[in-house]
Amino acid sequence: MNRRSQPNWSRRDLLSGAAFTLIPPAAPSQAPWWRRTLRWGQTNISEEDPLHYDIDWWRAHWRRTRVQGVIVNAGGIVAYYPSRHPLHYRARFLGERDLYGELTRAAHRDGLAVLARMDSNRASEEFYRAHPDWFAHDAEGRPYRAGEHYIACIDGPYYEEYLPAILREIIAWEKPEGFTDNSWSGLERDQICYCRSSRERFRRETGEDLPRRKDWDDPVWRAWFDWSMKRRLEIWDLNNRTTRQAGGPDCLWVGMLSGDLIGQGRRLRDVKAILERSEIILLDDQGRNDATGFQRNAELGKRLHGLAGWDKLMPESMATYQRAPTFRKASAAAAEARQWMYAGFAGGIQPWWHHVGAWQPDRRQFETAVPVFEWHAANEAWLVGRRPVASVGVVFSDRNTDYYGRDEAEERVARPYYGIIQALVRARIPYLPVHADHIDRDGRDLAALVLPNLAAMTVGQIEAVERYVARGGGLLATGETSLYNEWGEPRPDFGLARLLGVRFTGRRHGSLGEAESWTGSDHTYLRLHPETAGTVYGPRRAGPAPQKPRHSVLAGFEATDVIAFGGLLVEVEPAARSVVPLTFIPHFPAYPPEFSWMRTPHTTIPALVLQEESRVAYLAADVDRRFARDNLPDHGDLLANLIRWVARDRLPVEVRGPGLLDCHLYRQGDRLILHLVNLTSPGAWRAPAHEIVPVGPLEVRFRLPGGVAGVRARLLVSQSAVAVRREGEWAVASVPSVDGHEVLVLE
Ligand SMILES: [Zn+2]
């Protein structure tokens, strides 16, 4: 199933003497399906498909796209086999056909793994009428509904008895390798179920009555939130016990997750605990949105691998249909769909094409996956069995998302985090997402950590950061970092006050909102010190000449004394010996222009506080959040300068040349593997991408780690060898051109 294949070296390479053999690491031949199934396909069966499913054509398409596993709809919301359970709703046009069984047998004949797809969440009105107490109800006793379906309660017999019986029936009918389900976790955080099962279970396990409403400060609601997360883990484990008992130890139930930084907590899913306990991660995260771009796919792959482990596979459903806005029967723009796939490879994600319906009037979608999957099959050996290389860690935590972010997690948590990620992508600095509970483990090899508004921190997490800096690591903390405890309750001062060299005055300036420069109070700036305006091109004005050079974190801003801000600033008092290169300029009118002049051009309110000895930077102005919002290049440049400074310029790779490129570096044995994803064209337009314009040539410089000879390099997409020269500790190679993406292997 997992045939290894060598890339085809061209005849020209052989003649030039530049060819060399890349010997891929041995793939585990006896490994279970969840360790060796690298490419997946899914035809999500719609109700009419039993009438005309062309299985022969699909088998040929499986071969053409080199998939090793398929996802086949089995049961739950709709049954695609003649289930014996009378309330198990059969597909409208199923008749007596056994489409699930036919497809599973066909896939097995072709040597493919099969995951049976379930949708556990919802059932028909007929089912609800038969067992109303198995379904979720609100405080007034009304059933929760999704369209015309009813939402089953995860605390009752539907999940405890009925679904296990369905799983056993499917296994007995035609045994799949495992099960997947993206609607498995019941109601979301804003909906409390008051059915008898939930009431009794909550009282039994916590001694309390169910909370009447969501209230982040109510201890009972907090207990309900944690209990709800735990209950979903119990369901995960129950499903796995059921499928393993009935189908053998490798018959896994693997659910499904999205890679959304803040969305899983809202769905009451404890992502960290789930990733730790699952042998393979199925991701339902089918494309980008405008705000975060393709680079989000590499980021989420690395973030989730950091929690799950890098040995696990992480296939991701990738839409071949037009996803946002959704048109299930129209093809996605091929450039858009493929670029999402390439970005996923750079984050350690495996491809999985997804069509909705076995018949498609828009047949362009069938070509989308072909070249990508062919390339993946030819180069799979270099895409797994490797570890990321980075010197900068970006810290996140679910606790901060849930208890500090609360109902504003997008603004308070996601934007600062992605602002930092965008700055790193733009500066081509490889990074590693680091969970706040893993700072000791993951921080060992990192030159610097970034804490983007990591406001809610436990004492243990604060101590881990202190240990990290004591060992010589650099630190950039922004905004309200460590100003709250793990329940999202404010602390009187920063938990990291001593390390950051600041004391919280209790005051804040500006706001979290949209910058309303014309009418609002967000027409604010940051002043750079010392000022230089008198010395550069422009009209003269009386004032002192600069006495000393500026700090290196302000490199590139020589011709300005201010940069735009507009965000929220936490007022602090810096400790003695701190360096304050940026201060706050408060709001003044933007309109009418006659009144648009700085009322208070100078303050002593610090926007940035540096500790030179320890390389610790505290950015009191939430420039990271503003960068994610406004995309102002000054904000990205300032963040990149700060990150380079706290990391003492210890970066493992440098990429030179024009363009917007997402760079991800890996180590595999005695080689380095660098992904370059071309974001240049999509970066200048909005989704979907219509066309990818190649960039290059690029000069790539690797700081050679021990054990990597760094004498020869090969490009896996353009299939050519490239010359490597040495410059001290650097190995330097030139990449002529990058189309959608390129992968450079250095040995
Ligand atoms: Zn319930």
- pLDDT tens for 592-613 read 999 999 999 999 999 999 999 9
Q: What is the arithmetic mean of pLDDT over 262-286?
A: 96
- Whole-angstrom distance, CA of residue 679 vs CA of residue 295: 8
List, for residues 290-329, the tens digit of each pLDDT value. Answer: 778 999 999 999 999 999 999 999 999 999 999 989 999 9
pLDDT of residue 683: 75
- Whole-angstrom distance, CA of residue 520 vs CA of residue 589: 8
pLDDT of residue 532: 83
Q: What is the arithmetic mean of pLDDT over 394-410?
A: 97
Q: pLDDT over 70 for what percent of the chain? A: 94
pTM over 0.75: yes
Backbone angles phi, psi at 212, to 5 degrees: -80, -25
Band of the pLDDT at 15, cuts 50, 70, 90? Answer: very low
Q: What is the arithmetic mean of pLDDT over 386-414?
A: 97
Residue 478 to residues 523, 610, 655: CA-CA distances in angstroms? 21, 12, 27
pLDDT of residue 548: 81
Distance 350 CA to ligand 1 centre (A): 36
Q: What is the arithmetic mean of pLDDT over 157-165?
A: 98
Distance 218 CA to ligand 1 centre (A): 21
pLDDT of residue 618: 98
Distance 227 CA to ligand 1 centre (A): 13
**Which two tokens mark 530?**
């010392």
Q: What is the arithmetic mean of pLDDT over 651-658?
A: 97
Distance 147 CA to ligand 1 centre (A): 19
Residue 458 has pLDDT above 90, yes or no: yes
Band of the pLDDT at 22, cuts 50, 70, 90? Answer: low
Helix 163-173 crosses helix 219-247 at what angle (to 10 degrees)?
20
pLDDT of residue 322: 95
Residue 83 has pLDDT above 70, yes or no: yes
Distance 610 CA to ligand 1 centre (A): 52
pLDDT of residue 505: 98
Residue 8 has pLDDT above 70, yes or no: no
pLDDT of residue 673: 98
Q: CB within 8 A of 267, min separation 6: which ones? A: 185, 188, 189
Distance 77 CA to ligand 1 centre (A): 18
Answer for the pair 201, 230: CB distance below 8 angstroms, yes or no.
Answer: no
pLDDT of residue 29: 66
Q: What is the arithmetic mean of pLDDT over 63-75?
A: 98
Residue 1 has pLDDT above 50, yes or no: no
Distance 169 CA to ligand 1 centre (A): 25
Distance 701 CA to ligand 1 centre (A): 58
Q: pLDDT over 90 for what percent of the chain? A: 89
pLDDT of residue 218: 97
List, for residues 536-578, the tens digit of each pLDDT value. Answer: 888 887 766 667 889 999 999 999 999 999 999 999 999 999 9
Residue 722 has pLDDT above 60, yes or no: yes
| Residue closest to 150 by CA, chosen among 116, 181, 193 | 193
Distance 403 CA to ligand 1 centre (A): 24
pLDDT of residue 147: 93
Q: What is the arithmetic mean of pLDDT over 95-107?
A: 96
Distance 168 CA to ligand 1 centre (A): 24
